[in-house]
């Protein structure tokens, strides 16, 4: 993995697609790095890591026109070996408006075999005795910021380096255990609802579900007020106003006047938020 090709221009991307065609590449291992409301507003695809069995590539989608990235994603001649793809497929659909073609999710093999630990790191350890290093160091890494340190790029390639071997080991076990038909059944039945609206994580929390209906309504209004302002300033919503603060506000444990905002938020906007919150959190409104 020490040597890889960095693709960060339209010309690079065209050359890469030509390489795949000329070398008659039929399958690649692929993974993404993204930002999910951690360092900026919204979900962003930040890196595409690729291994064709011989060479490693890293595509920088933040520097390349969407049209060029889409042409690569929509290539129906190449099977894309990935792992745990639901969030990846959703991200591509939301960002590019396309359905990712020809994906073979290796986690399906893990499910068919009924393996207890289903995360890629656990599977690498149990099947290939490979332990991914520096995991904690890069869990909160800012993949939006450029340039990206070379050690971070090397780390990002870990998730594609072993997918072909994982496939070989697990497919052999599936065949040995006569589970090939089970695998086909899993693949056929697997269906991703692209149009389904995803419920924000906060609305799945027990603390939200336990709120009375009136407080749920107010919480929802505060949530989307925060989201609107965060989008305007390109802030992670949780950095503008913490998730805990939302629950504290609606439950009377905190008041709008005590809130602390990011330095980039204009004074006028702060006052507008505070006044809106005061209106939403009137005692008469919160009762019942």
Listed as ranges, residues in the chain with pLDDT below 50 are none
CA dihedral 61, 62, 65, 66 (to 10 degrees): 60
- E runs forming strands in 91-237: 103-105
All domains in the chain, ordered by first residue: 5-189 (3.30.420.10), 201-286 (1.10.150)
pLDDT of residue 53: 96
pLDDT of residue 193: 67
Distance of CA 127 to the CA centre of its chain: 25
CA 49 to each of CA 160, 185, 201, 208: distance values in angstroms, whole numbers, following the listed order = 7, 29, 27, 37
Alpha carbons 105 and 103: distance in angstroms, whole number: 6
pLDDT of residue 44: 96
**Cβ contact 45:143 at 8 Å:** no
pLDDT of residue 136: 79
The whole-model pTM stands at 0.89
Using alpha carbons, select from 163, 196, 187, 188 the residue that is nearest to residue 90.
Answer: 196
Token digits of residue 282: 């009137």
């Amino acid at each position: 993995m020490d040597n890889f090709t960095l693709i960060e221009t339209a010309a690079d991307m065209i050359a890469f697609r030509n390489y795949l065609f000329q070398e008659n590449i039929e399958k690649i291992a692929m993974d993404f790095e993204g930002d999910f409301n951690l360092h900026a507003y919204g979900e962003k695809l930040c890196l595409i890591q690729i291994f064709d069995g011989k060479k490693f590539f890293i595509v920088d989608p933040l520097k390349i026109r969407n049209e060029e990235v889409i042409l690569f994603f929509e290539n129906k001649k190449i099977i894309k070996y990935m792992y745990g793809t639901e969030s990846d497929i959703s991200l591509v659909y939301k960002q590019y408006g396309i359905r990712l073609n020809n994906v073979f999710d290796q986690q399906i093999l893990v499910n068919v075999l009924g393996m207890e630990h289903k995360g890629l790191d656990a599977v690498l350890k149990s099947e290939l005795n490979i332990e991914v290093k520096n995991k904690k160091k890069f869990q909160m890494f800012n993949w939006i910021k450029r340039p990206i340190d070379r050690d971070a790029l090397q780390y990002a390639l870990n998730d594609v380096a072993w997918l072909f071997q994982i496939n070989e080991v697990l497919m052999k076990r599936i065949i040995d255990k006569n589970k090939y038909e089970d695998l086909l059944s899993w693949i056929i039945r697997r269906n991703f609802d692209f149009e389904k609206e995803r419920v924000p994580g906060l609305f799945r929390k027990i603390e939200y579900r336990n709120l009375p209906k009136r407080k749920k309504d107010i919480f929802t209004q505060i949530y989307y007020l925060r989201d609107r302002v965060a989008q305007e300033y390109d802030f992670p919503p949780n950095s503008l106003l913490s998730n805990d603060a939302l629950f504290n506000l609606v439950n009377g444990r905190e008041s709008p006047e005590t809130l602390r905002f990011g330095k980039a938020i204009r004074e006028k906007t702060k006052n507008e938020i505070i006044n809106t919150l005061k209106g939403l959190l009137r005692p008469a409104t919160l009762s019942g």
